[in-house]
Amino acid sequence: MPVAIDTHGLRKRFGKTDVLAGLDLSVPTGSVFALLGPNGAGKTTTINILTTLVRPDSGIARVAGFDVASAPEQVKQRIALTGQSAAVDEVLTGIENLVMMGRLSGLGRHAARDRAAELLERFDLTEAARRRVGTYSGGMRRRLDLALSLVVDVPILFLDEPTTGLDTRSRQELWRVIRSLAEAGTTVFLTTQYLEEADRLADRIAVLDRGRIAAEGTADELKSRVGGVVVELRSADGALLLELPTDGSVHGLRAAIDELDRSPAAAAAVGAQVAIRRPSLDDVFLAITARAAASAPELIESK
């Protein structure tokens, strides 16, 4: 499968921090790729480099077959970016925003209007088209923002935390839109802090940890990397007290149960019960990032 985005040894340092410490990525054309990481992991920095807004200190990044450093114009013609800070004008209506963007992108008056109407329809904003954006909900705004970045058809779309701050319903609406773009053949590169989002949307997921890709694969591949089972300790009324990922071996399970047994939470809770379950992507994330921090798995204290 042809590659839409690939990077080799990408590095970026801000002050004394290596935000990216040798990033290697490969995103197949037509796929949805999720770069997953906590606050400050370097997600926006990665997007900024791939969209030519920031230069890497070293390493190579190619987008749509063009080098971001030597051919930024060719890259820019083939991408759209919806960032963490929205580009919408609150005083204008939805349709005015879209028509203005179309005109700025070189469309004629009629073409800009047609394109705006088509995008409003596609993003479920037709009814709100003539309202000022200042009155839109967070989810509507995010959909308009996405529509604005698609006024000109591009093969590769970058979405920086597309659903952060949205409620469940708006998030699901946006997921639907993103999936339909992917089904129509757009390569989508998104960043997220939500494991569920990566799980639901992405063909492949890369976990960004301390400036490097700590793990990469499909959601199922990542889950099977953790393997085994998670041992949990629940109070008599079912509240989760502690949980511990294990490799699923007899030895691993016994060690985990011993560790739970020794824990202050177990000692304090009368009638606490042990249960085991399959790992979730959350467990994968914790296991991968904990493994990178120290070779031994950590006991994860739940809130």
Q: Is 44 in the site for Mg ion (CB under 5 A)?
A: yes
Buried b (16+ CB within 10 A) or exposed e, 69-78: eebbeebbee
Residue 95: Cβ within 10 Å count: 20
230: buried, middle or exposed (CB in 10 Å: 19+, 13-18, 0-12)?
buried
Closer of 44 and 51 to ligand ATP (Cβ): 44
Q: What residues between 223 and 242 interact with ligand ATP by CB under 6 A?
A: none
- Nearest residue to Mg ion by CB is 44
How many residues of this chain interact with ligand ATP, rule: CB under 6 A?
13
Q: In whole angstroms, what is the distance from residue 69 CA to residue 60 CA?
A: 8
Stretch of 38-46, 57-65, 146-154, 204-212 lying at the interface with Mg ion (CB under 5 A)? 38-46
CB of 169 closer than 8 Å to CB of 139? yes
> Of 10, 34, 37, 76, which one interacts with ligand ATP (CB under 6 A)?
37
Closer of 42 and 245 to ligand ATP (Cβ): 42
> Of 5, 10, 27, 41, which one interacts with ligand ATP (CB under 6 A)?
41
Query: CA angle, 4 as apex, 13 and 183 as ends, to 5°?
Result: 125
The least distance separating Mg ion from the CB of residue 14, rounded to whole angstroms, comes to 13
SS3 of residue 163 by DSSP: coil
Closer of 7 and 44 to ligand ATP (Cβ): 44
The position carrying tokens 């058809």 is 153
> Of 23, 43, 177, 244, which one interacts with ligand ATP (CB under 6 A)?
43
Q: What residues between 188 and 217 interact with ligand ATP by CB under 6 A?
A: 193
Q: In whole angstroms, what is the distance from residue 82 CA to residue 61 CA?
A: 19
Q: What residues between 79 and 98 interact with ligand ATP by CB under 6 A?
A: 84
Q: In whole angstroms, what is the distance from residue 121 CA to residue 111 CA?
A: 15
Q: Is 44 in the site for ligand ATP (CB under 6 A)?
A: yes
The least distance separating ligand ATP from the CB of residue 267, rounded to whole angstroms, comes to 37
Q: Among 174, 235, 224, 226, which residue's Cα sits nearest to residue 200?
A: 174
Q: What are phi and psi of 88, to 5 degrees?
A: -80, 150
**Binding partner of 170, given ligand ATP, Mg ion, none, CB within 5-8 angstroms per partner class:** none
> Of 4, 5, 19, 128, which one interacts with ligand ATP (CB under 6 A)?
19
Helix, strand and coil percent figures for the chain, each rounded to 5:
40, 30, 35
Q: Among 286, 287, 272, which residue's Cα sits nearest to residue 232?
A: 272
SS3 of residue 268 by DSSP: helix
Closer of 120 and 146 to ligand ATP (Cβ): 146
**Binding partner of 295, given Mg ion, ligand ATP, none, CB within 5-8 angstroms per partner class:** none
Q: In whole angstroms, what is the distance from residue 185 CA to residue 174 CA?
A: 17
Stretch of 34-42, 242-250, 261-269, 287-295 lying at the interface with ligand ATP (CB under 6 A)? 34-42
CB of 287 closer than 8 Å to CB of 222? no
Closer of 8 and 14 to ligand ATP (Cβ): 14
The least distance separating ligand ATP from the CB of residue 215, rounded to whole angstroms, comes to 16
The least distance separating ligand ATP from the CB of residue 63, rounded to whole angstroms, comes to 17
The position carrying tokens 């708006």 is 170
Which residues of this chain interact with ligand ATP, rule CB under 6 A? Answer: 14, 17, 19, 37, 39-45, 84, 193
Which residues of this chain interact with Mg ion, rule CB under 5 A? Answer: 43-44
